Amino acid sequence: MGIFSLERAHESYTQYARLSERELSLMRRSYSTLGRANKNIRYKIGYPRKLDRMKDITDLNAMITDGIAELAVEEFPSLKTRDPAAAGSADLGRVQESLKHFLQDWSKEGAAERTRIFAPILDFRARLFLAEREVDAAAGYDTTANELSFFMTLPLRFLLFPKTTTTPIEHILCPYAHRFSHQRTNDSLFRGISFPDVAPRLRPTFRLVEEGFTKLKAHHPTKMMHMYMDRYNYVVTLFFIDTSLDLLSTLNHIHTLLRPGGTWINLGPLLWTGGAQAKVELSLEEVLQAVEEGKEYGNRRAGGRRHCSRLYQVSRAKSALG
């Protein structure tokens, strides 16, 4: 069973309430080991009430996680037969992190952060349209979204499905409460956010592909005059390439997905997976060199025809040491 598999993600959302209750019980147990004097101080500042409040927040969040798990069973009937191996694989931490994306990606509170991330990409995109005199059909994009982790796509499905999300600002979640660290006040710790700020829907021009990136295929190439018509004009990778354990294969695959003269736009860090898991761990300079080498190789394979892509590196990698 894969780390990001459907079965493991479903089991994790299903067990969110139980695992959260177990974690809270451990916190209460740790609190109970305080000496009498220190426990009295904690009591006076209201720490037991804080733990009680945490239980209420967990119950509130569980309304969302239960809804995600129930929808998953409806959309993936194979989950009705519970895999015994999945029972012990539930990952509370990944659920907690995934729930934060409702704040970051789908709330008014996260709008400023989204603007900082997406605006440079959209700005490059707009400039390319003007430079190439292209016209967007119906002022929109024909988009394929790709995500490997079902920890991420099951919550997205919860928003996409009209049965579980009918209107904007329909749900409430307290995403900060899972970690007590770095909080100015308890009110900030337990504050709720309403989401989504818009109610997204799948449509003919927006497709969700739930599999590894290197398995993603361009639309079936036509045998008509324009043999690359069904490949992509643009590939955008957002906080992605450093998650690849085989970057060079990923770069090659980006090349195969693009039409001749297509554009790759990248934004994100180069925080490679440690422990010698990644086959290469490149600097930004090396990544750019690898892209150029790949373009030349692609040109040779294409028999000299122009089949090279352009790379727009929206952000620049910077060493933590300056």
Confidence (pLDDT) at 19: 97
Confidence (pLDDT) at 229: 52
What single DSSP character describes residue 140? S
> For the residues 82-109, what does the mean pLDDT come to?
89
24, pLDDT greater than 90: yes
- Indicate the pTM of the whole model: 0.85
309, pLDDT greater than 60: no
Helix (H) / strand (E) element for 261: namely strand 258-267
Residue 183 in domain: no
Residue 144 in domain: no
Confidence (pLDDT) at 259: 87
Report residue 136's pLDDT band, with 50, 70 and 90 as the boundaries: very low
State the Cα–Cα distance between residues 25 and 263, nearest whole angstrom: 52
244, pLDDT greater than 60: yes
> For the residues 248-257, what does the mean pLDDT come to?
92
Residue 147 in domain: no
Helices (H), the chain: 6-14, 16-32, 36-44, 47-75, 84-87, 92-106, 111-132, 150-160, 186-189, 247-257, 284-301
102, pLDDT greater than 90: yes
State the Cα–Cα distance between residues 271 and 317, nearest whole angstrom: 9
Residue 196 in domain: no
State the Cα–Cα distance between residues 108 and 269, nearest whole angstrom: 25
State the Cα–Cα distance between residues 72 and 7, nearest whole angstrom: 10
Interval 161-192: pLDDT, tens: 999 999 999 999 999 999 999 999 999 999 99
Residue 29 in domain: no
How many domains is the chain partitioned into structurally?
1
Domain that residue 303 falls in: 212-322
> What are residue 4's DSSP bridge partners?
none
Q: What is the percent of the chain with per-residue pLDDT over 90, rounded to a whole number?
A: 59
State the Cα–Cα distance between residues 102 and 60, nearest whole angstrom: 15
State the Cα–Cα distance between residues 108 and 168, nearest whole angstrom: 11
Residue 288 in domain: yes
End-to-end Cα distance, the chain: 40
Residue 57 in domain: no
225, pLDDT greater than 50: no
89 near 8, Cβ under 8 Å? yes
Residue 128: CB atoms within 10 A of its CB come to: 16
Using CB atoms within 10 Å of the CB of residue 232, give its burial: 0 to 12 exposed, 13 to 18 middle, 19+ buried.
buried
Contacts of 211 (CB under 8 A, 6+ apart): 146, 148
260, pLDDT greater than 50: yes
Residue 170 in domain: no
127, pLDDT greater than 50: yes
